[in-house]
Amino acid sequence: MAADPELRTSVPRRNTVQVSHSSHDGAIAVVVTLDGQVRDLQLADTVTTRPAAQLARDILECIHSAQALFDPGPATR
């Protein structure tokens, strides 16, 4: 399952930068902070039809995609 590259950032009360990222079908949504911590995970009811192993892979892929949005990449290191 490919993740949607849409990026939404916010600055909550503690001045922590966050990014929200959703799977391509919108069934999985995560919010991660600049330091990579997962702050929220939302699952649509439709994910219950997925095999458990696939669901786990899809959740991790969504989390990793969100975390990668903060990665400056090798060119800026």
- Per-residue pLDDT of 58-71, as tens digits, reads 999 999 999 998 87
Residue 28 has φ and ψ, to the nearest 5°, of -125, 130
Q: Specify the number of domains making up the chain.
A: 1
Structure confidence at residue 1 as a pLDDT band (50, 70, 90): very low
**pLDDT, tens digit, 9 for 90 and up, residues 35-47:** 889 999 999 999 9
The CATH code of the domain that includes 31 is 3.30.1310.10
Residue 54, pLDDT > 50, answer yes
Q: Is residue 23 part of a domain?
A: yes
pTM: 0.72
Instruction: Show the domain range for 61.
Output: 8-69
Average pLDDT rounded to a whole number, residues 52-58: 96
Which among 35, 25, 29, 27 has a CA at the least distance from the CA of 8?
29
